[in-house]
Amino acid sequence: QVWSDYLNVHLHPKSIYVIRQYMHDGYCGCLEAFGQGESLLQDPGCIEELEDRLHFYVEECDYLQGFQVLCDLHNGFSGVGAKVTELLYDEYSGKGILTWGLTPVVSNMGILMVGFFSLQGSQKNFYRLMNTALGIVHLSSHSSLFCPLSLSGSLGIK
């Protein structure tokens, strides 16, 4: 039913943290705004669980040089990524943080039909624009190097 059902790589249980309320059958719908992602990591239980998982892997390292963070920019995961990079920056200030901000390709169909967008469609585009802008600002401020990645030349912003 989801892409991870087809994942042939077996991941360590400590490397996966499922956000239950935003699963496919979750009670909150989809994670569409930067603030929603940020507020997820305001929960002390969530932060504690994330830190435990992080420390599990950090303790396994002989010589930790830094972190790589891959994060969607166009949805609420930009807020999650911003808080995670802030956590890494605060806890491991001497280590490098390489952050990749990922955006999807916007279909040409949506661009050609600008005059026919419904309120819901234009609201999604507004969220996408705001999430991308806030993500770039916050992620780059807590990263040693921030690199936005997209298959389109415009980072998915039109």
CATH number at residue 30: 3.40.50.1440
Q: Specify if 58 maps to a domain.
A: yes
Number of domains in the chain: 1
Q: Specify if 157 maps to a domain.
A: no
Q: Specify if 56 maps to a domain.
A: yes
* pLDDT over 60 at 112, yes or no: no
Q: Specify if 95 maps to a domain.
A: yes
pTM (two decimals)? 0.79
Q: Is the dihedral of CA 34, 93, 155, 77 positive or negative?
A: negative
Closest C-alpha to 117, from 158, 56, 68: 158
pLDDT: is 17 or 144 the higher one?
A: 144
Q: Specify if 156 maps to a domain.
A: no
For residues 1-16, give the mean pLDDT.
78
- pLDDT band of residue 158 (cuts 50, 70, 90) is low
CA distances from residue 60 to 56, 57, 64, 93 in whole angstroms, order as listed:
7, 5, 9, 19
Q: Specify if 85 maps to a domain.
A: yes
Angle between helices 77-91 and 119-141 (to 10 degrees): 10
Angle CA(133)–CA(135)–CA(139) in degrees, nearest 5? 130
What CA–CA distance (Å, rounded) separates 38 from 79?
4
| pLDDT at residue 52, as a whole number | 93
Q: Specify if 158 maps to a domain.
A: no
Residue 44 is part of which domain span?
3-150
